[in-house]
Structure 1
Amino acid sequence: MRKLKNFPFAKVLVLGLAKSGTAVANLLNRNGVEVVANDLKATEDDENVQTLRSQGVSVVVGEHPLSLIEDVDAIIKNPGIPYENVLIDSAVKQDIPVLTEIELIPYFGINQIVGITGSNGKTTTTTLIYEMFKKADAPVSLAGNIGHVASEVAEQMDDKQTMIAELSSFQLLGIDTFKPKVAVLLNLFEAHLDYHHTLEHYQNAKANIFKNQTEHDYLVYNADDQRIVNLIKDADAIRVPFSRKGGITNGTYCDEEAIYFRGEKVIDLASVVLVGEHNLENILAAISVAKLEGISNQVIETVLTTFTGVTHRLQFVKEVNGRKFYNDSKATNILATTKALSAFNQSIILLAGGLDRGNDFDELIPYMSNVKALVLFGETSPKLRKVGEASGIENIELVDTMNEAVQKAYQLSNKEDVVLLSPACASWDQYKTFEERGNMFMESVHKL
């Protein structure tokens, strides 16, 4: 087990006792750092609270007293906690460092990192890269926003392993020295503006993935996304573009027949089983990383001819009386849903709705031509209903539960139709996570 080296903070406030917060509090405590943990929603009876206290960690729940930051050297916060939080706001004004747990990774001496970020496609791309490493028998660990606390993974790694890490804008906003050997920027779209407030702030958070890179590192980026092209213009890393439109020679690209890396054919497009143009971009990014890491075309082909997708991302669930059901619960913004809609030529019954973050959904309208019915739920139902009406969709139903949504969608569908859960919204108005929402969808489909 690795130990933190040259860690500059003697006393740390860990803010938020969700999965990552509890892991970080334990990790710091194991490494001799004085830890105070705080969670507004936790209770005295919570198992995490009791376990941390039994290990000598001071835990405060149910309030955010400002006295907690009087003598701390830094705050490590749960990525989802906004900077308007009273403790964070006060700490920033006092120049107390506010970090996220991925900033711990450099202090474990982990340098071989592939970091993947973007508005959409992170999980699919991360999983593809991980599978390519595994198939090549390369020592590898999976970490980050994909469900494995990155600092906890780093603590267990050996010197031969590469960390493949999915990184959110929330995580990247809280770094100082962290840098990946290979950074991947997939796309940029107006997302999480309730947290970042402006597109510029959101883009700057994403740009942190390459801010500490040097000329010895690599930056894999989407050359088809002008926002990304503009964002990386001052990057120091070696730039490796990918494009599904072509027009590049120094990266990964495709034509109608095949995918190429720097002029070398890698795989025939017809052999790839993952559907959708957005997934083609994810595949190009993954191939870029694999080729930079010396992974063979044979290994890449083996993965791409068998990989059908990740859970909750355009995941085929089941065919029921000729209707194909797809779970795309991870589509928590408009761009993700437009890409899901673009993946099918069949008629679609779309299940959508969720947390209202203040945006409208007019950008969906050009992609609704194949949608013959809408089944809506959650806070954004009224907004999405207007979009459906503007798109000329006659069958629009508002429901309260996922089980109702699935049953109604089945009633509105015919053989050969696609029933697609692609909410275009976060899940937090009705569900704890998008995974819970997707699992509820799949459970309801299997009940049909």
Structure 2
Amino acid sequence: MRLVILGGGESGTGAALLAKQKGIEVFISDIGTIKDDYKHLLKAYAIPFEEGHHTIEKIKEADQVIKSPGIPHETAVIQQLHVCRIPVIDEITFAAPYAKGKIIAITGSNGKSTTAHLIYHLLDAAGYHVALAGNMGYSFARCLAKGSYDYYVLELSSFQLESLKNFKPNIACLLNITPDHLNRYNYSLEAYAKAKLNILRNMTPLDHFIYNKSDPITAAYLQAQNILPELHPIDPLSIWNSDGLCYCNVDGTSFSISREQIALPGRHNQYNAIVAITAAALAGVAPTTIYAALPKFHGLSHRLEWCGAPKSIDCYNDSKSTNIASTRAALLSFNQPIIWMAGGVDKGNDYSLLLPILQERVKAIICLGKDNHAIIKAFAPLGLPIQETDNLDNAIHMALSIASPGEVILLSPACASFDLFKNFEDRGNQFKKKINKLIQKYPLPKI
């Protein structure tokens, strides 16, 4: 078989490495520039590639084409392949048959990374040989090329789920469905939700599905299905009883979790933690192991990450929040007045959903982006102080000049980062670096 892969990023390179390992003739074509790290890998394994263009004639010689998740189906080269009746699949579909261990798959508009990392943390604490892959770190295919594992914990985006064929997780988690990446789906929430729900496509009654009981889209979908995995609904609005306990009953094992055992800030993270605990318990992790490991997990970079308190003002890096729902959760995590740093590349946001929260909790808004028109227009009626800049240093100094000791500066942009930064990690790392310099300049007063 001759395999062509479109896209030479983590997904495409991982698929190429796995194909090479399995004795498949493979070629990568990327219309952009392939990063040096990936080029070194491809050369080391003698995998031919091209960059900066697509040689259509060479691509059409393929028996099968793998499309990297970032490439939309409407792209001209994909349409030409459809006309030629050359099968186009995704990396997850290609990789799935080679996985011998069990799969825990996590998707949702928000909270995927935190939940996936916590599941990994709990399984690792139990002594499982476990891999963490998918939409972060190594791709699924690259992970399989590296070795075999008892469990694969996979974070999966809507892009990765759109075209699944043979992929079937043993445990699937769908955290939530809120508007995100709608520009990819012709601004249709229904189309976006369909991609997310595709995680259920091949699941059987022997598998397990953990989901948000309060989500109407998921509930409607489940009602329309004839064959379903075993369902584990969790209501994020009523996790705790009056004593601050959550009672879990998983496969006949009952145990309780105290709110104080969860070291993550925010009500949304408490929900993510209960989903992760349920998945780990279904995988066989004992309650005693969960109790010991849970308080040791303190979250991830760029997700409500405390960076320090220059001038006794708490600064949080939530750069990963690139949509309204995620930023909404971040804003609800604080009782102190917030100076909110927002902005970037708008993804079709409906900012009106934030108006009541801003009115209640936000002291001022700092718009950080090349085009802040949409944010300013949406929030001007609130009468809050709004300043704008396209420079991070300026944004931080604006925020510090407004904030008082005991208040919060929150970088939670609700937008993509590509107007001023390489990605959300770059945005968050620059923010942390600048805050660290300010901490050295304004150390905490001695008591």
Which TM-score applies when normalising by structure 2?
Answer: 0.91
Distance, in Å, in 2 between the alignment partners of 1:278 and 1:173 is 26
Q: Structure 1 residues 375 and 157 mapped into 2: Cα distance closer, same or farther (>3 Å)?
A: same
Corresponding residue number in structure 1 for 2:365: 374
Give me the CA root mean square deviation.
Answer: 2.0
Distance, in Å, in 1 between the alignment partners of 2:308 and 2:240 is 31
Distance, in Å, in 1 between the alignment partners of 2:430 and 2:54 is 34
Q: Does 1:261 align with 2:267?
A: no
Distance, in Å, in 2 between the alignment partners of 1:158 and 1:358 is 41
Corresponding residue number in structure 2 for 1:345: 335
Segments of structure 1 that go 5 or more residues without pairing to the other structure are 1-9, 247-252
Corresponding residue number in structure 2 for 1:423: 413
Corresponding residue number in structure 2 for 1:141: 131
**3-state SS, counterpart of residue 299 of structure 2:** coil
User: Does 351-360 or 166-175 show the bigger shift?
Assistant: 351-360
Deviation at 1:231, TM superposition (A): 2.4
Distance, in Å, in 2 between the alignment partners of 1:54 and 1:255 is 56
Q: Deviations over 1:6-65 (max 9, x none)?
A: xxxx1122111122222322332232212221111227x956447635754332222234
Corresponding residue number in structure 2 for 1:179: 168
Corresponding residue number in structure 1 for 2:180: 191
Corresponding residue number in structure 1 for 2:311: 321
Q: Where does 1:111-126 land on structure 2 (aligned, <5 Å)? A: 111-126=101-116
Corresponding residue number in structure 1 for 2:120: 130
Q: Where does 1:144-155 land on structure 2 (aligned, <5 Å)? A: 144-155=134-145
Distance, in Å, in 1 between the alignment partners of 2:381 and 2:108 is 30
Q: Where does 1:173-252 land on structure 2 (aligned, <5 Å)? A: 173-197=162-186, 198-233=188-223, 234=225, 235-246=227-238
**3-state SS, counterpart of residue 321 of structure 1:** helix
8 Å CA contact 2:60–2:81 kept in 1: the answer is no
Distance, in Å, in 2 between the alignment partners of 1:158 and 1:36 is 25
Deviation at 1:156, TM superposition (A): 3.0
Q: Structure 1 residues 438 and 69 mapped into 2: Cα distance closer, same or farther (>3 Å)?
A: same
Q: Structure 1 residues 276 and 46 mapped into 2: Cα distance closer, same or farther (>3 Å)?
A: closer
Q: Deviations over 1:276-326 (max 9, x none)?
A: 111121012112112212222222223332322111111111121211111
Q: Where does 1:352-431 land on structure 2 (aligned, <5 Å)? A: 352-368=342-358, 369-393=360-384, 395-431=385-421
Q: Where does 1:3-152 land on structure 2 (aligned, <5 Å)? A: 10-42=1-33, 48-49=38-39, 52=42, 55-152=45-142
**3-state SS, counterpart of residue 224 of structure 1:** coil
8 Å CA contact 2:17–2:142 kept in 1: the answer is no
Segments of structure 2 that go 5 or more residues without pairing to the other structure are 439-447
Distance, in Å, in 1 between the alignment partners of 2:136 and 2:49 is 27
8 Å CA contact 2:14–2:139 kept in 1: the answer is yes
Distance, in Å, in 1 between the alignment partners of 2:290 and 2:264 is 13
Q: Structure 1 residues 359 and 273 mapped into 2: Cα distance closer, same or farther (>3 Å)?
A: closer
Distance, in Å, in 1 between the alignment partners of 2:139 and 2:416 is 21
Deviation at 1:76, TM superposition (A): 1.4
8 Å CA contact 1:352–1:422 kept in 2: the answer is yes
Q: Does 1:169 align with 2:169?
A: no
Q: Where does 1:242-321 land on structure 2 (aligned, <5 Å)? A: 242-246=234-238, 253-256=239-242, 257-262=244-249, 264-321=254-311
Distance, in Å, in 1 between the alignment partners of 2:85 and 2:137 is 31
Deviation at 1:85, TM superposition (A): 1.7
Q: Structure 1 residues 181 and 427 mapped into 2: Cα distance closer, same or farther (>3 Å)?
A: same
Distance, in Å, in 1 between the alignment partners of 2:247 and 2:112 is 22
Q: Structure 1 residues 388 and 74 mapped into 2: Cα distance closer, same or farther (>3 Å)?
A: same
User: Does 361-370 or 67-76 show the bigger shift?
Assistant: 67-76
**3-state SS, counterpart of residue 113 of structure 1:** strand
8 Å CA contact 2:262–2:270 kept in 1: the answer is no
Identity of matched residues, %: 36
Aligned residues: 430
8 Å CA contact 2:370–2:390 kept in 1: the answer is no
8 Å CA contact 1:326–1:421 kept in 2: the answer is yes
Give the partner amino acid of 2:18. L
Corresponding residue number in structure 2 for 1:250: none
Corresponding residue number in structure 2 for 1:6: none
Q: Deviations over 1:98-137 (max 9, x none)?
A: 2222223322143400000000000111111111111122
Give the partner amino acid of 1:424. A
Q: Structure 1 residues 83 and 346 mapped into 2: Cα distance closer, same or farther (>3 Å)?
A: same
Distance, in Å, in 2 between the alignment partners of 1:156 and 1:29 is 12
Distance, in Å, in 2 between the alignment partners of 1:407 and 1:381 is 18
**3-state SS, counterpart of residue 289 of structure 1:** helix
8 Å CA contact 2:343–2:415 kept in 1: the answer is yes
Q: Structure 1 residues 413 and 53 mapped into 2: Cα distance closer, same or farther (>3 Å)?
A: same
Q: Structure 1 residues 47 and 291 mapped into 2: Cα distance closer, same or farther (>3 Å)?
A: closer
8 Å CA contact 2:13–2:142 kept in 1: the answer is no
Corresponding residue number in structure 2 for 1:7: none
8 Å CA contact 1:79–1:170 kept in 2: the answer is yes
Which TM-score applies when normalising by structure 1?
Answer: 0.90
Deviation at 1:260, TM superposition (A): 1.1
Give the partner amino acid of 2:303. R
8 Å CA contact 1:274–1:304 kept in 2: the answer is no
8 Å CA contact 2:197–2:218 kept in 1: the answer is no
